C-alpha cells in the first residue's frame, strides 16, 4: 500500500510523540491515574530492590499499614530475591520493570519481549507471584511495548507525578514536592533503586516515605495499589 507524504509525516510525528511523552495514548493508553473515587493515591517505586532503601521503605509502609506498588527490575531481583519476596509477602503489588533497564522505544519487538519476559521470570523466581502490571524504563514505549506487556498479562502503568527524587535533592524536598503535587487519583513515582547502579543511593527517598505517608494521611488520603485501578 502506498502512503502519501502527508501520512508518512503524521506517522513519524506520532511515533516521536508516543515515544517521548510517557503518558501518550498513541501506543496504547497506560494507566496514569487511579479510578477510585475520593482522596486516593498510589505510591509506586521503580528500579529496586535495593539492599539499603527497600527495607527502610517496607518498614515505613508496614508501620502505617499502607500498601504500595514496586516496579521491580529483573536484574536487581536476581541479586536480592529475598527483598522481592518480602515486598510480595507484605501485601504490596509487584510490577514488572523489565530486566536490563534499557530505553525500549528504539528496540525491536524481539528485544522488548525478551526484556519483559526475563523481568517477569526473575520476579516469579524470587516471589512466586506473576506481575499483572508493567512500567517501561523511563516510560519510553514504542508501538509494540504495550502490546507485548499485554500479551504477558500485564497492564502498562505510567504516572501522574514524578519529583526527580533520583537526583537526591534532599529528604524534605522530595517529601514537599510529592505531598504538594498529590491530587485525588495521583499515581506518584518514586525510586527505591537505581536502574544503572545496583547499589545506587536511594536512602533520601526512603527517608522521605514516612513524611509523605504521614502528611497525606493527615490530609485524608488513602493509599491503593495500582493493580486495584
Ligand atoms: Zn526505571
CA 46–ligand 1 middle distance (angstroms) = 5
Q: List pLDDT tens digits, range 142-178.
A: 788 999 999 999 999 999 999 999 999 999 999 999 9
Answer yes or no: is pLDDT of 227 > 80: yes
11 domain-assigned? no
Q: Ligand 1 mean position to 9 CA, how many Å? A: 31
User: Ligand 1: distance of its center to the CA of 4 in Å?
Assistant: 38
pTM, rounded to two decimals: 0.89
Domain annotation covers residue 148: yes
SS3 content of the chain, % helix, strand, coil (to 5): 45, 15, 40
Give percent of the chain above pLDDT 90. Answer: 81
Q: Could you list which residues have their CB under 5 Å from ion ligand 1?
A: 46-47, 137, 195
Is residue 206 domain-resident? yes
Nearest to 19 by CA among 105, 103, 101: 105
Residue 75 lies inside a defined structural domain of this protein: yes
Q: How far is the CA of 97 from the centre of ligand 1 (A)?
A: 7
Which positions are catalytic?
A: 46, 191
Q: What percent of the chain has pLDDT over 70?
A: 87
Label residue 9 by pLDDT band (50, 70, 90): very low
Residue 137: give the domain boundaries. 17-228
Report the distance separating Cα 34 and Cα 85, nearest Å. Answer: 25
* SS3 sequence of 9-43: HHHHHHHHHHHHCCCCCCCCCCECECCCCCCEEEE
Identify the residue whose cell numbers are 524470587.
126
Question: Tell me: the pLDDT tens digits for 33-60?
Answer: 999 999 999 999 999 999 999 999 999 9
CB within 8 Å of 205: residues ≥ 6 apart: 45, 53, 57, 165, 166, 174, 190, 191, 192
C-alpha separations of 213 from 50, 188, 193, 198, 221 in Å = 20, 12, 19, 26, 9
Q: What is the pLDDT of residue 85?
A: 98
Separation of 50 CA from ligand 1 center, angstroms? 13
CA 80 – CA 95 distance, rounded (Å)? 16
Inside any domain, residue 1: no
CA 174-176-177 angle, 5° bins: 65
In-domain check, residue 30: yes
User: Rg for the chain (alpha carbons), in Å?
Assistant: 17
In total, how many domains does the chain have? 1
Q: Which residues contact 174 (CB under 8 A, 6 or more apart)?
A: 163, 165, 190, 204, 205, 208, 212
Give the domain CATH number at 102.
3.20.20.370
pLDDT at residue 143, as a whole number: 80
How would you classify the pairing of strands 40-46 and 187-191? parallel
Q: Of 9-23, 63-77, 137-151, which gets the smallest average pLDDT?
A: 9-23
Question: How far does residue 196's CA lie from ligand 1's centre (Å)?
Answer: 9
Residue 7 lies in a domain: no
CA torsion sign for 126, 129, 134, 135 is negative
How remote is the CA of residue 59 from the centroid of ligand 1, in Å? 22
Task: Determine, yes or no, domain membership for 3.
Answer: no
Angle at 96 between CA 120 and CA 13, to 5 degrees: 115
The stretch 176-181 carries a mean pLDDT of: 98
**Average pLDDT of the segment spanning 94-123:** 96
Amino acid at each position: 500500500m502506498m502512503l502519501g507524504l502527508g501520512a508518512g509525516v503524521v506517522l513519524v510525528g506520532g511515533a516521536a510523540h508516543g515515544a517521548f511523552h510517557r503518558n501518550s495514548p498513541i501506543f496504547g493508553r497506560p494507566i496514569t491515574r487511579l479510578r477510585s473515587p475520593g482522596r486516593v493515591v498510589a505510591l509506586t517505586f521503580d528500579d529496586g530492590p535495593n539492599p539499603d532503601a527497600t527495607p527502610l521503605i517496607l518498614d515505613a509502609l508496614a508501620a502505617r499499614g499502607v500498601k504500595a506498588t514496586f516496579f521491580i527490575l529483573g536484574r536487581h531481583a536476581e541479586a536480592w530475591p529475598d527483598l522481592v519476596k518480602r515486598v510480595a509477602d507484605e501485601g504490596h503489588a509487584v510490577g514488572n520493570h523489565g530486566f536490563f533497564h534499557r530505553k525500549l522505544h528504539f528496540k525491536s519487538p524481539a528485544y522488548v519481549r525478551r526484556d519483559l519476559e526475563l523481568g517477569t521470570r526473575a520476579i516469579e523466581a524470587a516471589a512466586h507471584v506473576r506481575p499483572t502490571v508493567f512500567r517501561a524504563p523511563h516510560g519510553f514505549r514504542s508501538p509494540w511495548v504495550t502490546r507485548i506487556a499485554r500479551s504477558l498479562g500485564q497492564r502498562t502503568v505510567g504516572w501522574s507525578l514524578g519529583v526527580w527524587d533520583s537526583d537526591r535533592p534532599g529528604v524534605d524536598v522530595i517529601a514537599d514536592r510529592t505531598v504538594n503535587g498529590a491530587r485525588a487519583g495521583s499515581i506518584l513515582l518514586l525510586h527505591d533503586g537505581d536502574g544503572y547502579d545496583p547499589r545506587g543511593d536511594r536512602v533520601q527517598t526512603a527517608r522521605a516515605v514516612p513524611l509523605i505517608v504521614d502528611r497525606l494521611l493527615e490530609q485524608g488520603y488513602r493509599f491503593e495499589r495500582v493493580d486495584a485501578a
